[in-house]
Structure 1
Amino acid sequence: MTSSPPPGASSAARRTVLAAALATVGTAAASSAPASAVDAAPGRRPRTSSRLIDNRFWTSYTDWRSGTRAGTRAVASRRPGLVIGTPAGRTDYTDPHTGRRATWEYATWTSPEHTSTVPATEVIASWNADTPAGTWITVELRGRYSDGTGTPWYVMGRWAAGDGDIRRTSVDDQKDGRSAVWTDTLAVDDPATGLRLAAYRLRLTLLREPGTRLTPTVWRAGAMASDVPDRFTVPASRPGLARELVVPRYSQNIHIGRYPEYDNGGEAWCSPTSSQMILEYWGRRPTAEDLAWVDPDYTDPQVCHAARHTFDFQYDGCGNWPFNAAYAATYDGMNAVVTRLRSLTELETLIRAGIPVITSQSFLATELTGAGYGTAGHLMTVIGFTDGGDVIANDPASPDNAAVRRVYRRREWENIWLRTKRHNAAGKVVSGTGGVCYLYWPAHPTSAQRRALAAVGVR
């Protein structure tokens, strides 16, 4: 990040606990990474084979009938899901952000153990769920190390679409001396030891107000495991596509000062602004009733809505990766996951099928011609490629909506997105995101879209 970052860059220091920890263990993954978190990470990661990413998502009726259930049941429909059947019991929860203590009925589902095709240094969970008022869910993950021992059950998120019952939240200070959860990412502390996460299980807890027939519905849950390579540069790819998708353009910067309780207003809203662009590309947007809380004098109130409904009250920001995917999936018939891509060629495959991609990257102002800013973590939306192969992006870090469409040099953009190590403005070695992206697509995609998703390992 530049010494005085422009409004378009992600917010400055947020994960102070994470920053201190990273300085100690020398590894990390920070979502929409705040400066203090990323800049504290020396980033030791070993080189691995070219197959670096494994995705496993449970989505089918057969999936939901597998594993271990306590009070949940699978629902067979055009979009199969998991719901509360007969609750397994009651539990008390004190919301750390409001102090409110309440009793909830709960039911659980624990997945079968998934052995990753990639012994991993990082695992990021994603989920798609409907959580009507009076309900919420907890997503947990337990890993098995390559030496046969296991992690604790780590909370990967406590999620509700609204904020009236609980405040959606990540959980800090989860660690076992060999791995830790950094907001939304489970990471091995020191990959140089050779220790990896070989397998994992997910546990979903569905909760509701006692004595009601309410239920959350979970349609998709899973994770992306990756063995993050150690690289400052990536091989250059050859252009393979010239196509531009027509995606709405929204600037986060016009929202600066609006609703500062959600991470300083639009100054740090790159992630929800990008999410809103893609949702509207797929024809989804909030209703007038949804937007009734927004000041009617504000333009693009749906961006304010997205910021509020992706906000992580522990992280104190809108950049929690799975929370953005979960928000996208609250819209009718939408799928959403967090994953990694290995190359611009894979991104071209998705654009060819009509699927735009939200990408996470960090860079100095001198590393991306035409950006006009540097950032320790920023989300933008790739919507196409020029005839010469350059990247066409809707960059929310723009002064107004008309300026959002940008063309970035292919080689520069490719490297800042896919690398996992970089030098910051002080010359210090810090981490990069290594191809992290959000994918949003319809629950019932076309055959071409299905093939494109399968080609990048997502089903």
Structure 2
Amino acid sequence: MRRLPPLAAASAPTLAPTLPRTLAGTLAAVLVTSLGVGLLGTVPGAPAAAEESAVTAAAPARKIDLTRWDSTRRLRRGNLSGTRVAAGRVEFDERVRTRRHAGTRYDVAHWTSPWRAPGFSFTNLIASWSARTPGDSWVEIQVRGRSAANGGSRTNWDTLGRWAASDRHLRRSSVSGQDDDGTSVNVDTWRTGGLASYQVRVALLRRTGTGAMPSIDLVTAMTSRLPTRAGATSRPGPAAGKVLAVPRYSQMIHRGHYPAWGNGGEAWCSPTSTSMVLGYYGALPKARAYRWVPRDHTNPWVDYAARMTYDHDYDGTGNWPFNTAYAAPRAGKAFVTRLRSLREAERFIVAGIPLVVSIAFDRGELDGAPISSSGGHLLVIRGFNKAGDVVVNDPAAANNKGVRRTYRRDQLEKIWLEASGGLTYVIHDAAHPLPESSGRW
């Protein structure tokens, strides 16, 4: 379980305290941007000005920026050190140095993004990636920032995650702490006192003496500075009455499964939600991948997802970008972002893209929920009824049949925006491109 830390108010550039995160993880499906200018797109047939007015009224002062490097052209804008770009991927080319990790020596190469200024003083950054890590190879994601004052002084490089698709050679982990220069890492989130720009650096590592070729085809960075209150409830929009056919999986039927990876049950909301979205795309892992799961385990691909998203430093399956990194090569693309309202979420439903979102709530704040409260929980938004209320797959239900629920729009939007700032996983395939945006993402 993972308790969501409090959001830092937009008016207060101080670091928020780091707290453990609870219930079923912490995830949230989805957003989108090409070269990070903003979060507001245009639904086909909807007037852009009217859409922007509707979203802005419901989301005061929500500063969010997502930058994507996900094509040959964009990846070539970064600095290559021992790497090359080909066919939309950054590949290991030659070692620029070696380093030891967990007793093994690795060759190292790097890709470093250009400096990126989102246009506001950001207090949070979450990176996402999609990588291939054959054999004994892995990737390490780092970030550093630069202030607007003091001549643009730079912070140290902080490590956000060490990741591999398999756990055969690497204990996949975040690196919380690193609070030596006014910034810190809380599981998957880089917290600052307010910085003007940043760089992301990806190290590609392979065991010395091998020919493994680690590579990446997507790097994103989402920065934000948010108010603590949700504001007025957004008005229903173009997705009213549209519900996607997302399969229903309960996390609770896995209670007691694999203590080494969280023990199932309430701890597995994130990999269960991610698996529901992969099931929607027909992109679940093949049976041979989880043949080690006992035959009497229902939905064994959820056990597999929990193992492949487990963060050994955090001791849980609720690391947001670890879940999207697991989903990305299976579906096509996946990343973590924040949305400003359910009106924005509707754009994805219209495009046929279900979202995973991160919420937290107290008793009486979410009518019809299968649990009375949660300090941090993930579920899937699969659509909206004709009144604009939200149709979800909530994995906290006791069984698969009870997973589908309908939650009041005002209640869900409030506990989503105020608990996680609208945190979302966007997972999509080639048949479901991101919503039209008039070039804004």
TM-score of the aligned structures, taking structure 2 as reference length: 0.85
Q: What is aligned with 1:417?
A: 416
Matches of residues 101-180 of structure 1 in structure 2 within 5 Å?
101-147=103-149, 148-180=152-184
Which of 7, 22, 25 is the matching residue for 1:34?
Answer: 22
Cα distance, 1:302 vs structure 2: 0.2
Cα-to-partner distance string for 1:215-270 (whole Å, 9 max, x where unaligned): 11200012100012132x42111111220000010000000001111112233100
Cα-to-partner distance string for 1:82-132 (whole Å, 9 max, x where unaligned): 0111221321112xxxxxx10111111111111113321101010011112
Distance between the aligned counterparts of 1:293 and 1:317, measured in 2? 20
Query: Size of the alignment, in residue pairs?
Result: 396
Distance between the aligned counterparts of 1:246 and 1:455, measured in 2? 28
Q: What is aligned with 1:187?
A: 191
Distance between the aligned counterparts of 2:111 and 2:93, measured in 1? 11
Cα distance, 1:418 vs structure 2: 1.1
TM-score of the aligned structures, taking structure 1 as reference length: 0.82
Distance between the aligned counterparts of 2:234 and 2:133, measured in 1? 42
Cα 1:28–1:440 change in 2 (3 A) is farther
Q: What is aligned with 1:221?
A: 219
Cα 1:26–1:135 change in 2 (3 A) is closer
The answer to whether the 8 A contact 2:143-2:158 is kept is yes
Cα distance, 1:156 vs structure 2: 0.8
The answer to whether the 8 A contact 2:156-2:181 is kept is no
Q: What letter corresponds to residue 114 of structure 1 in structure 2?
A: R
Q: What is aligned with 1:44?
A: none
Distance between the aligned counterparts of 2:134 and 2:19, measured in 1? 30
Q: What letter corresponds to residue 129 of structure 2 in structure 1?
A: W
Cα-to-partner distance string for 1:302-358 (whole Å, 9 max, x where unaligned): 000000000000000000001001010131x51111000001100011101101000
Distance between the aligned counterparts of 2:22 and 2:254, measured in 1? 19
Which of 58, 63, 74 is the matching residue for 1:63?
Answer: 74
Which of 97, 100, 105 is the matching residue for 1:92?
Answer: 100
The answer to whether the 8 A contact 2:60-2:231 is kept is no
Distance between the aligned counterparts of 2:303 and 2:62, measured in 1? 38
Q: What is aligned with 1:321?
A: 320
Distance between the aligned counterparts of 1:353 and 1:247, measured in 2? 14
Cα 1:49–1:28 change in 2 (3 A) is farther
**SS at 1:122 equivalent:** strand
**Structure 2 gap segments, 5+ residues each:** 7-13, 27-58
Cα 1:457–1:375 change in 2 (3 A) is farther
Q: What is aligned with 1:50?
A: 61
Distance between the aligned counterparts of 1:29 and 1:342, measured in 2? 23
| Sequence identity (%) | 42
Q: What is aligned with 2:204?
A: 206
Task: Let me know the Cα RMSD of the aligned residues.
Answer: 2.3
Q: What is aligned with 2:390?
A: 391
**SS at 2:180 equivalent:** coil
Q: What is aligned with 2:91?
A: 83
**SS at 1:105 equivalent:** strand
The answer to whether the 8 A contact 2:159-2:175 is kept is yes
Q: What letter corresponds to residue 237 of structure 1 in structure 2?
A: S
